[in-house]
Homo-oligomer: A and B are copies of this chain.
Amino acid sequence: MLSKNQQKNICQLSHKKHRQESGLFVAEGEKLVYDLLNSGWKADQIYSTEPIQQTPYTLISFSEMKKISHLSSASPILGVFYLPYYNSIEKTHKEFSLVLDNISDPGNLGTIIRLCDWFGIKNIFCSSNSVDCFNPKVVQSTMGSIARVRCHYVDLHTLIDDCDTKVFAATLDGSSHYRESFPSEGLLVMGSESHGISEALLEKIDHRITIPSFSRRGGAESLNVASATAILLSEIFRS
């Protein structure tokens, strides 16, 4: 049984402001909820329309679930989890990390987090104007990978200034990614869907790389940012 107040509080977690005030976020679906629990994330509440092993949990009706779900088709399980608190960034040597400048589409960020999980990247550094990784649409499209990849919202200028590894920027005017040899440690910067990497940030980066197009004249002007990230990560982790 859900109170009106509980229902309201869960629905409000679709807004960043309410997530920050309450320190909570929502994850839906069996895989996602269990991926978080199995990775040690702490749940405030688990709601299920069916009896489950996990305790404690609250059994609710499917019509109640539909009222709190952020999905177009509600799933049988929804978890309200505590936002993580990363008190310091794990500094791991011999590691590649991803930097995202002003990514605004939740589906793109979710797909990129899933890609990082696949390639074993543990940390993503996002500009503070990027979409929040605990936005329900982002969480959902990570397919559970949000449990294993940390997104840090930081000042990218400071990050690049303080970086003592090689920094690569994905642009449309760089050298071919096929010809680049990537070190085992470094940063890859990807820019926003509509404007690419901001000019001021790009000025700080020496190595520009491009995925060459094989299209006829008048073809696609650019690739989707998640597609471009996929291609470049595959190249970086070439063994």
- A81-122 interface code vs B (CB 8 A; 1 in, 0 out): 000000000000000000000000001000100110111100
* Contact call A223/B178, Cβ cutoff below 8 A: no
* Contact call B114/A223, Cβ cutoff below 8 A: yes
Contacting residues of chain A (202-232) with chain B, CB-CB under 8 angstroms: 211-216, 218-224, 226-228, 230-231
Interface residue range, chain A:
35 or more
B107, B117, B228, B234: which contacts A219 (Cβ < 8 A)?
A: B117
Q: Which residues of B contact A222 (CB under 8 A)?
A: 143
Tallying the copies of this chain within the complex gives 2
Q: Which residues of B contact A235 (CB under 8 A)?
A: 234
Q: Which residues of B contact A117 (CB under 8 A)?
A: 215, 219-220
A sample of 27 inter-chain contacts (CB < 8 A) reads A35-B218, A38-B218, A107-B107, A111-B224, A114-B223, A114-B224, A114-B227, A115-B223, A115-B227, A117-B219, A118-B213, A118-B223, A119-B213, A120-B214, A120-B216, A143-B224, A144-B220, A144-B221, A148-B219, A148-B220, A223-B230, A224-B226, A226-B230, A227-B227, A228-B230, A230-B231, A231-B234
Which A residues have a C-beta under 8 Å from some C-beta of B? 35, 38-39, 107, 111, 114-115, 117-120, 143-145, 148, 177-178, 211-216, 218-224, 226-228, 230-231, 234-235, 237-239
